[in-house]
Amino acid sequence: MSLIVRALRYFADGSARTTERLAADLGLPEKQARVLRTDLVARRVLTDAGSLDVGKRGPKPQAFRLHAARGTVIVIQIGLSQVTVAACDLLGRVHSVSHEPHDRDHGPDDVIASAWQRASALAPRHQVWGVGVCIAAPVRYPEGRVARPPILRHWDMYDLRGVIARRTAQPVVVLNDARAAAYGEYLACTSRPQSLVYVKIGTGIGAGTVLNGRILHGVSGAAGDLGHTATDRSIAPEGTDDGCRCGRRGCVAAYAAGWAMARDLGFPDGPGSVTRVRDALLASDPRAQAVAARAGDVLGTALAHTVSMLNPDEVVLGGQLALPGPEGQPLLSRVRHQITQRALPLAAEAVHLRVSDLAETAVGRGIPASALGGEASRRGLVAAALDEVFNKPDLLARLLQPA
């Protein structure tokens, strides 16, 4: 099975490749690569992708690609006000999806029961390979238990993984949403960086890190989560309310989270307040730009520490308030300035800072956070669920029985 897993990972980017390429890239003798390819076609893992122009004279060789519809991964994304359930193919593409609002002031049991009912309707049970779940809250890893969420307080200590694992025989992976998005961003990078730090600027501040192709979890699942670390007081202007939703004072989120920016702009607290901040930025409102610049200073100072410690090649900002283009510059330019000023020069010079180009940041006025979806976290969850499947040779052998 280990060779099959290597081939599955190799074809997981969706590209069409010839048997010759497969042999060269996996370091196999060509005869062994042909046997492997024949086996994978018989197991309906690979499918004929037609003939490929490899720039040589003579007949064009036949190419193969992953048969993405061979299995389904169920993805459940629990946001602050909405639960999205999607059935995805093996490349992370959605083939059916359903959204439902949820009330953050109510407990999780009904939310999960409803989400699972919807998931069961989206894909037949025999087709499902694994389940990936993310939530906008800290999650103990690998247990998948929610741990002291600053906003979804009714979910504290909820055994999210256990509750879902009791409903399915397939592997279930539960991640914090920013961590899942970090993995998705990493996989979407064509340059395949060595390491990537992702920060989600939405209602709250989330963050995740991928090192050498793997999500950095830390011992309990908290690695790199900088939203509730203490702000440098020299950056935070005096007289500003620094109370944080986690109950402490002076956290990064107390200035840079969407709810804090909404507070500083005098918008009433509520489901639409972060969308109002976004709309003000899109309208180039100078007050909103000043608040975003200060958020950028606070976030950039925290990220400068991360950049010095991890020396990543990519730092990606995503979420509803990380805007691409000129509207995103007030925040992005201050993050860049603080990293340049405060991180070790060797690390600061090497890092590529950018706004995500996945769908979370789709530009447009009046788009509520819930409608922006979570493309990065969805991609990350599909890959994380498949990683679990690939680590279980018996399960994989069952799933891949030849027709």
User: Which residue from 327, 333, 393, 399 is spatially nearest to 365, judged by alpha carbons?
Assistant: 327
Please work out the total of residues on this chain that contact Zn ion, with binding judged by CB under 5 A: 5
Task: Write each residue from 294 to 323 as x if it is in contact with Zn ion (CB under 5 A), else as -, in one continuous string.
Answer: ------------------------------
CB nearer to Zn ion: give 183 or 255: 255
CB of 92 to Zn ion, least distance (A): 32
Residues 251-270 that bind Zn ion (CB under 5 A): 251
CB nearer to Zn ion: give 225 or 297: 225
* Residue 246 binds to Zn ion (criterion: CB under 5 A): yes
User: Buried (b) or exposed (e) across 332-366, using 16+ Cβ within 10 A?
Assistant: bebbbebbbebbeeebbeebebbbbebebbeeeee
CB nearer to Zn ion: give 99 or 148: 148
285: alpha, beta or left? (left if phi > 0; alpha if psi -120 to 50): beta
Q: At what angle do helices 329-342 and 286-310 cross, to 10 degrees?
A: 30
Per-residue DSSP letter, 144: T
CB of 403 to Zn ion, least distance (A): 54
Retrieve residue 102's tokens: 């949820």
Beta bridge partners of 78: 83, 135
* Residue 230 binds to Zn ion (criterion: CB under 5 A): no
CB nearer to Zn ion: give 43 or 148: 148
CB nearer to Zn ion: give 244 or 304: 244
CB nearer to Zn ion: give 8 or 244: 244
CB of 136 to Zn ion, least distance (A): 14
Q: Near Zn ion by CB under 5 A, which window of 69-77, 99-107, 166-174, 224-232?
A: 224-232
* Other Cβ atoms closer than 10 A to 2: 8
* Residue 17 binds to Zn ion (criterion: CB under 5 A): no
CB of 315 to Zn ion, least distance (A): 21
Query: Which alpha helices (H) appear in 101-246, and where do they start and end?
Result: 109-122, 160-165, 177-188
CB nearer to Zn ion: give 36 or 139: 139
Strand order through the sheet with 82-88: 94-101, 82-88, 72-78, 128-135, 172-176
Handedness of CA 168, 117, 143, 159 (dihedral sign): negative
Residue ranges that bind Zn ion, judged by CB under 5 A: 228, 244, 246, 248, 251
